[in-house]
Amino acid sequence: MKFETHMNYDKTKKMLNTLRTLNESTLKKNSLNEQEEKKELKDTVTVIDGVEVRLIASTEEDLKLDDQQKKVIGDVVSNFGTQVSDLGDLRPGITIQSNQVRLDGKLPDVELDFVIIAGQNKGTYLNTAMLKTSYELLEMIQKLMKFEDVFADAMNDMITQRRID
């Protein structure tokens, strides 16, 4: 009886070692998505109409904006002033990645920090703590949500172009 138990132990140990080597070999291989993520990302900052535009990309080509893209970003900034608030503080500004464009800012008159994203994770996000509600605040939130569509429409072409490149 002891002999059979000893044999089962050896078989179990051998099977566990085989499974361990199989798992280690699959863990060492990276999928295509992981290989793309491991590309070294670089970033650069450009100022357009007083707003910092940060570009994050893996290639030098994507770290540059052409004149048409600069014009689109300038139009978005001026539209923000007319549609949402002239007092809006667009800092840290616009961040452009391969799959999304992000606009960060603050509305000081209602003490509201916001993020508007076009592309992946599209939406309007509010950063606040213990914010007093008022009709003025609700009106500003409504304007931000309307501006989200304008922002997304303007930036979707840029996102598509950056994905292709």
Q: Is the pTM of this model over 0.75?
A: no
CA angle (109, 111, 115) in 5-degree steps: 110
Residues 84 and 143: beta-carbon distance below 8 Å: yes
Indicate if the pLDDT at residue 32 is higher than 80.
no
pLDDT at 29: 53
Which of 12-16, 70-74, 119-123, 147-151 has the weakest average pLDDT?
12-16
pLDDT at 68: 92
pLDDT tens-digit map of 41-62: 888 999 998 899 999 888 888 8
- When pLDDT is cut at 50, 70 and 90, the band that residue 28 belongs to is low
Closest listed residue to residue 114, CA positions, set 139, 148, 81: 148
User: 């179990």: which residue's tokens?
Assistant: 12
- The mean pLDDT of 112-126, rounded to a whole number, is 91
pLDDT at 39: 67
- When pLDDT is cut at 50, 70 and 90, the band that residue 18 belongs to is confident
